[in-house]
Amino acid sequence: MTQQNPQYKKVVEYIMSEIENGSLKEGSRLPSEKELCEMFSLSRQTIRHATGELEKNRVITRVKGSGTYVGDQSRPRRKPRYRSVAVMLTYVNSYIFPPVLQGISNTLNNKGYSVSVSFTNNDIEREKRTLEQILSSDKVDALIAEPSKSALPNPNMNYYRMLEKRGIPVLFINSSYPKLDMPCIRLDDEGIGYEAVKYLISQGHRDIAAVFHCEDLQGIRRYAGFDRALRENGIVLDPEKVIWLDTAGVSDLDPLMDYITKRISTATAVFAYNDEVACQLIRGFNRKGIRVPDDISVIGVDDAEAARTAEPPLTTFPHPKAELGIMAAQKIIEQIENPLMKRDHLFLPEIIVRDSVKNLNKEEK
Amino acid sequence: MTQQNPQYKKVVEYIMSEIENGSLKEGSRLPSEKELCEMFSLSRQTIRHATGELEKNRVITRVKGSGTYVGDQSRPRRKPRYRSVAVMLTYVNSYIFPPVLQGISNTLNNKGYSVSVSFTNNDIEREKRTLEQILSSDKVDALIAEPSKSALPNPNMNYYRMLEKRGIPVLFINSSYPKLDMPCIRLDDEGIGYEAVKYLISQGHRDIAAVFHCEDLQGIRRYAGFDRALRENGIVLDPEKVIWLDTAGVSDLDPLMDYITKRISTATAVFAYNDEVACQLIRGFNRKGIRVPDDISVIGVDDAEAARTAEPPLTTFPHPKAELGIMAAQKIIEQIENPLMKRDHLFLPEIIVRDSVKNLNKEEK
């Protein structure tokens, strides 16, 4: 099978991005059909397919004998029916969800929306019950959802598709399901894995271990960036030192510390899936008399509260937290008003350097 | 993005399957264009696209003024250039590869092919080196490959695509990469996970744990079947009792036995990813004084040698081993002669009942 993006979609996406970045403003005239044909080397029929879809979704308006204009001149934008948005979180990274939820709630409340929250605990059975409830009560305009175990097969996909069919847009945060064509606001996980390794290498590390989470796509993506950075620097990844843990494993590293320590024993640095893992590693190392960063460096992701109070304080990539919540709220309102507004957004945060990574270059001088 | 299977491909696949199952024999006449148009409700242009592709690949021959016939009347089938096939295995399940390799070698040797073997040890770096070597030496007609860590992002996809572009067909065994449209001969892993749980339930078990491998698609697929069977029987999966291990973890369970035992403590049965895991679990339980099957039942996959000598002997789903090897050899010859012959084959073996699963129904009587 081949993945195909129909030609007309390119035109739709181009016009949407021109509107989003402000090049095409409300009320301004669209390029003519002929101009679009030439611009994309496409037939008039394909261009009409694209503008037809945009018109159907009230993004543009055709005015007879005049031209096509941005915005819906004749009819109002789609209006929310209930002014209510459901938010479904996993609760897994309990140090992230409060500011994210606050960002979502404040922004939506300010726009007159109520917000109902539920938690799945990263459990697909609970996810199913929540989705069933949303579908049966039929009282929300949209859903902001954090997926449960996005790297595993999930039997709940049809519930999401049913929501979309009913005109209830879905926006994912932190991760999304590969089988669903729905927008997502998340960290650039691949980029973070890559930047973390690049930073460790800049500090003289080459024997680099990692602890990843295998049930969420975040883990798979951070691994991909981790692997790419090693490769680009001529370092061959040692699978023995790349440890994969499941949800229960990640949430309680204590019974695994002996095992982990043995597997990564020669490494000078370890990239932790997130700060929850990183802080547990640091505590575990401390108890064993392994000094961070003198014996081993640790780097995390998220900038959790615990990252700042860790001993030593943790070098990490900050999750945008409230900023992500605010953007999710803004995007879901856009989607409610215009279901075509389906765009991903990725955050690639800059590293916060604290004291958990040793500079090996200095040592040699 | 949407996954699309072009219309004409349906026609190609239909004709190929009719030839494969013997309904359309060599030399027999194909339905007319008009008949095919009606059969598929497709335009004549689309039907011609399909028959054109089949003719290009010498599956059918158009005879002017007469009709279209199965088989290549005018030209010989594509001939192998080197009579040589490369076989790349992971070596991970060392108890499976000898009979598989024997099945492949014997069949290919009998047909006049030489076989060159290499092992990746489930390491993508070694996989890369092997593929580079095959590409640079340019001395094989085809490749039979077992993927390395098929559930993780893999940077070697372009090597496989280059092989295909050079006219060197690739056939995967045991698993395949989701990003490549190449045929695969493997176990019906989802079906096995499903059947294993169904069997355990038939024996009165409802509190069922599992140990899966997270880096290979076999693990993800067996989990999907495991989960589906529980659901269909109204049992809610307890994530605490579904343990995911990486390659190093699966190959040496000893340092993890305390941890695993604690997580699955209340379960009456455990589904093991394969017999390697199952036999290690049984040995570990024996050492701890946990009796199999009186205290806990164990079920595996593969029917490894060790499954028969385990104490107690292991109930398991047999891997077709030599049979899979023979079929792989036959299929790769078909692919060499006709690159269109790209069909998957799944084996769903029947359970071999030995003594590692307790019948809880009997107990209650």
pLDDT tens digit sequence for B147-202: 999 999 999 999 999 999 888 999 999 999 999 989 999 999 999 999 999 999 99
**DSSP, residue by residue, B234-292:** TPPP-GGGEEEE-HHHHH--GGGHHHHHHHTTT-SEEEESSHHHHHHHHHHHHHHTPPT
How far is residue A210 CA from its own chain's centroid? 21
CB-based contact B155 A223, cutoff 8 Å: no
Poorest-pLDDT segment among A213-227, A234-248, A316-330, B26-40: B26-40
Q: Please report residues of A whose CB lies closer than 8 A to that of B4.
A: 1-4
| Domain covering B189-318+351-364: architecture | 3-Layer(aba) Sandwich (3.40)
C-alpha gyration radius of chain B = 24
In this structure, which amino acid lies at residue A94?
Answer: S
Domain A189-319+351-364 of CATH type 3.40.50.2300: yes
Name the class of domain B84-187+321-347.
Answer: alpha beta
- Using a CB–CB cut-off of 8 Å, the residues of A that contact B are 1-5, 122-123, 125, 151-153, 155, 181, 214-215, 220-221, 223-224, 227-228, 231, 236-237, 239-240, 242-249, 255-256, 258-259, 262-263
- Which of A1, A151, A259 is facing B181, going by the closest CB pair? A1
Poorest-pLDDT segment among A61-65, A241-245, A255-259, B154-158: A61-65
- Which of B125, B214, B240 is facing A237, going by the closest CB pair? B125
Show contacts of B128-136: CB within 8 Å, 24+ apart.
Answer: B128/B155, B128/B156, B128/B159, B130/B86, B130/B88, B131/B88, B131/B156, B131/B159, B131/B160, B131/B163, B132/B159, B134/B86, B134/B163, B134/B168, B135/B159, B135/B162, B135/B163, B135/B166
3-state secondary structure of A69: strand
Q: Is the pLDDT of residue B4 over 60?
A: no
Domain positions in chain B: 7-70, 84-187+321-347, 189-318+351-364
Q: Is the pLDDT of residue B94 over 90?
A: no
Q: What is the pLDDT of residues B297-356, one digit of tens each?
A: 999 999 998 999 999 999 999 999 999 999 999 999 989 987 777 788 999 999 999 999
- The ipTM is 0.71
Where are the alpha helices (H) located in chain A, listed in sequence order? 7-20, 33-40, 44-56, 97-110, 124-137, 157-165, 189-202, 217-232, 247-251, 257-263, 275-288, 305-309, 322-337, 360-364
Cα nearest neighbour of B261 on chain A: A255
Q: Is the pLDDT of residue B226 over 60?
A: yes
CB-based contact A4 B4, cutoff 8 Å: yes
Find where tokens 């070098």 sit: A315
**pLDDT score at B3:** 43
Q: What is the pLDDT of residues A282-313, one digit of tens each?
A: 999 999 999 999 999 999 999 998 999 999 99
Name the class of domain A7-70.
Answer: mainly alpha
Banded pLDDT at B5 (limits 50, 70, 90): low
CB-based contact B247 A259, cutoff 8 Å: no
CB-based contact A239 B123, cutoff 8 Å: yes
Q: Is the pLDDT of residue A39 over 90?
A: no
| Fold match between domain B7-70 and domain B189-318+351-364 | no
Show contacts of B48-52: CB within 8 Å, 24+ apart.
Answer: B49/B8, B50/B8, B50/B9, B50/B11, B50/B12, B50/B15, B51/B11
Positive or negative, the CA dihedral A121, A194, B177, B245 is negative
- Residue A318 pairs with which residues in a beta bridge? A302
Residue B364, number of CB atoms within 10 A of its CB: 7
Q: Please report residues of A whose CB lies closer than 8 A to that of B259.
A: 255-256, 259
- Which of A220, A231, A262 is facing B155, going by the closest CB pair? A231
Is A249 in contact with A92 (CB distance < 8 Å)? no
**pLDDT score at A28:** 77
CB-based contact B262 A255, cutoff 8 Å: yes
Q: Is the pLDDT of residue B364 over 70?
A: no
Banded pLDDT at B251 (limits 50, 70, 90): very high
CB-based contact A123 B239, cutoff 8 Å: yes
Q: What is the pLDDT of residues A108-135, one digit of tens each?
A: 999 999 998 888 988 899 999 999 999 9
> For A70-109, b where at least 16 C-beta lie within 10 A, e where not — what string?
bbbeeeeebebeeeebbbbbbbbbebbbebbbebbbebbe
Cα(A127)–Cα(A86) distance, rounded to whole angstroms? 13
Å from B233 to nearest chain A CA?
A: 14
Q: Is the pLDDT of residue A3 over 60?
A: no
In what order do the strands lie in the sheet containing B142-145?
Answer: B114-119, B84-89, B142-145, B170-173, B184-187, B345-347
